[in-house]
A = this chain, B = another copy of it.
């Protein structure tokens, strides 16, 4: 009886808490309103304007606005807890964040009326330039103004009318420069590297070729749509082919965060997971660079919207330059961090280590932006490098700390973006709802995704032994959700009519895909009869049955990959981490001193221990010896290091498979583990250095 009382008590308590949060949300909206109206009163009352007071009021207003978002996120967290608790799967936290955002947006738009701000009336001052800093002389006193941006002529009235709505509208660059980097870094840092590398060829094909195909298909279709609209007279402004292509680029960035969360929960086939996750991570990078190259397309002639080969080649050059530059920068800072953590004993002080890791990862972004590359892309490759090398050098505590830190940042940033999206549907000032364009866009997005997945899958299946079956293809087609990246790209510039129409349409595409496709994932999975409940490790050991057969195929198809693997294992890992064979074994003898200098003492230790304990290891752990059968072969090979040169050249890509599998154990995919609490199981091997990483 007591138990019953407390259970119903808990339910009532939950309801009370909900009420509490709702009340606090409305309080914060009221505070928001109050501080904005107090601003008005004082402004109109006082003739002698006190800058300090005004700045204070503006600060209070900003705090109140931010508070609305914090309350929205809190509400989302509490609701999503309830959903997880009851195992509702039809709505992901991002979808929920959008719903709450929409609700608050409606309240802000229609529920609150702020009287017209009189003193805020613009003092148009006719000058001949728009400098970054403007000094205004008000009866002898100088006030400093900073440039915020250009405003189109028809917006001038809005500026004065909707101060309140403008206040909750953030600078679009916030998304790109503050909220997106942690999300992208986390994606790179939590990449399941084993399955990623196993499917790397297909992932690269989908991400690069697929995104470009999708971009051009959508661009062409939209151009057709725009032409038609012009015929019908539904177009009120300019809309060029480059705009269509730009739209194609930004809408090609997929973000199946909802789908992946469900995949993770239901333990869907790992290869399908890897294909989807890898594609979505990389195509974000491709879409960013692609869109900036399209913007860079500027023919030299008078008409800036004709086709010109030189300008197109220049755009292509920009694409290659920016992508490779960002890639190189990201990898470079990752490598520097790995070196610093390897050669200092920073691991004795976990706080310093974590702080250094965080700062170095952040500096990648800043460095790339300062050099004119794309910070988001650099951060992605930095994350992958950090996970592959630096992570091994960190102390266990720092490994946990860094994972948890970026997991939290990712969670907060993602939900913030999605709730802002919901809000923007009603608070954004210059929406252009054009039904024809919207219908066209939905159709184009569908066809663009189809033109990406099906033809590429067909081509890839020609080379793949482990075919991408048709139900996998349908699932990938279905999982082409649009999310944070598409939004951030589309809100970045909403100055022209075309861009405003794109922004509105993009919002609707994101809403539709996240709610409908995201919510229907479980149905789609069962409809396509895709097996669930696959243990990724079990899957791995199962496939070892057909190992010899598979190896011969892989040997042929993945030669490039094998060369890289050998290089990584023999040179990069030993140089950048404490694991791997000593460089004295892998480098030619002439590099002796350098090799000794670069090799970590731990690597020598590992080696000598391996020599001593080889038989011991093999005898005591029979099952591991079975599963990881040919590790002992490579161990022997490394034992014979006096021969020098490429000892490991003969290692098969299955070695890599196993090594990466170990890495994945260390770095559990946290990003999507929200759906069900996973136990933080340690890798099943007690001392991996002696056995695997050697």
When each residue 334-372 of chain A gets 1 if its CB lies under 8 Å from chain B and 0 otherwise, what string results? 001001100111101111101110111011011101111
CB of B371 within 8 A of CB of A51, answer no
Q: Within residues 9 to 23 of chain A, which ones have a CB less than 8 A from any CB in chain B?
A: 9-10, 12-14, 16-17, 20-21
Q: Is A124 an interface residue (CB 8 A)?
A: yes
Contacts A344-B78, A408-B358 known; A135 to B119 CB distance under 8 Å?
no
Nearest chain B CB to A601 CB, angstrom units: 5
Q: At the interface, yes or no: A604 with Cβ under 8 Å from chain B?
A: yes
Interface residues of A in 138-152 (CB under 8 A from B): 138-152
Query: Interface stretch among A80-88, A252-260, A538-546, A639-647?
Result: A80-88
What does the 1/0 interface line of A397-416 toward B look like (CB < 8 Å)?
A: 10001001101100110000
A interface SS class: helix
CB of A363 within 8 A of CB of B408, answer no
Give the contacting residue for A349; candidates B63, B84, B339; CB below 8 A: B84
In the assembled complex, the Cα of A148 lies from the Cα of B135 at a distance in Å of 10
Cβ-closest chain B residue relative to A342 = B13
Q: Does A67 contact B (CB under 8 A)?
A: yes
Q: Is the CB of B674 within 8 A of A349?
A: yes
Does A531 count as interface, using CB distance less than 8 angstroms?
A: no
Q: Does A59 contact B (CB under 8 A)?
A: yes
- Write the chain B residue with the least CB distance to A395: B677
Given the complex, which residues of B lie within 8 Å of A128, measured CB to CB?
123, 138-139
Q: How far does the Cβ of A45 sit from chain B's closest Cβ, in whole Å? A: 14
Copies of this chain, whole number: 2
Q: Is the CB of A370 within 8 A of B122?
A: no
Contact in complex: A67, B125 (CB < 8 Å): no
Question: Which of A69-77, A379-387, A436-444 forms contacts with chain B?
Answer: A69-77
Whether A136 contacts B132 in the complex (CB less than 8 A), given A74-B363, A352-B674, A597-B13, comes out as no
Interfacial residues of chain A within 57-113, with CB under 8 A of chain B in the complex = 58-61, 63-64, 66-67, 70-71, 73-74, 77-78, 80-82, 84-85
Q: Which residues of B contact A599 (CB under 8 A)?
A: 6
Q: Is the CB of A147 within 8 A of B54?
A: yes
Set B134, B149, B150, B366: member contacting A123, Cβ < 8 A: B134
Is A550 positioned at the interface, with any CB of B under 8 Å from its CB?
no
B-chain residues with CB within 8 Å of residue A73 when the two chains form the complex: 355, 359
Q: How far is the CA of A480 from the CA of B123 in the complex (A)?
A: 51
A136 adjacent to B135 (CB under 8 Å): no
- Using a CB–CB cutoff of 8 Å, the interface residues on chain A facing chain B are 2-3, 5-6, 9-10, 12-14, 16-17, 20-21, 24, 28, 31-32, 35, 49, 51-52, 54-55, 58-61, 63-64, 66-67, 70-71, 73-74, 77-78, 80-82, 84-85, 119-153, 155-156, 159, 173, 177, 336, 339-340, 343-346, 348-352, 354-356, 358-360, 362-363, 365-367, 369-372, 375, 397, 401, 404-405, 407-408, 411-412, 493, 596-597, 599, 601, 604, 670, 673-674, 677, 680
Further 11 A-B residue pairs, CB within 8 A, beyond A135-B156, A404-B404: A6-B599, A9-B597, A60-B370, A78-B356, A81-B352, A119-B129, A122-B133, A123-B135, A144-B147, A145-B146, A351-B407
Closest chain-B Cβ to A104's Cβ sits at a distance in Å of: 15
Query: Smallest CB–CB gap between A496 and chain B, Å?
Result: 11
15 contacts between A and B (CB under 8 A): A6-B601, A13-B343, A17-B340, A52-B493, A59-B173, A63-B367, A63-B375, A67-B367, A73-B359, A77-B356, A125-B134, A143-B148, A144-B151, A351-B407, A404-B404
Q: Which residues of chain B come closer than 8 Å to A131, judged between CB atoms? A: 119-123
Given A141-B150, A363-B74, A596-B5, do A125 and B122 touch, yes or no (CB 8 Å)?
Answer: no
- A362–B203 Cα distance when bound, in Å, is 40
Closest to A134 in B: B145
Contacts of A35 in B (CB 8 A): 370
Top 3 A-B residue pairs of the complex, sorted by shortest distance between their CB atoms? A145-B145, A122-B135, A63-B369
Are A411 and B340 within 8 A (Cβ)? no
A383 to chain B, nearest CB (A): 17
Verify B148–A81 contact, CB threshold 8 A.
no
Complex alpha-carbon distance, A131 and B80, angstroms:
43
Question: Could you say which residues of chain B place their CB within 8 Å of the CB of A177?
Answer: 59
Q: Which residues of B contact A408 (CB under 8 A)?
A: 351, 354-355, 358, 401, 405
Known: A14-B343, A149-B143, A343-B14. A66 touches B366 (CB 8 A): yes
Report how far A77 CA is from B346 CA in the complex, Å: 9
Q: Which of A9, A84, A493 has the most CB of B within 10 A?
A: A9
Residue of B nearest to A39 (CB): B132
Contact B604 A2 (CB under 8 A): yes
Are B51 and A130 closer than 8 Å at their CB atoms?
Answer: yes
* CB-based contact B145/A31 at 8 Å: no
For A365, the chain B residues whose CB sits under 8 A away are 63
CA distance A146 to B125 in the complex (A): 14
Residues of B with C-beta under 8 A to A148: 143-146
Residues of B within 8 A of A412 (CB): 355, 358-359
CB contact between A360 and one of B74, B123, B596 (< 8 Å): that residue: B74
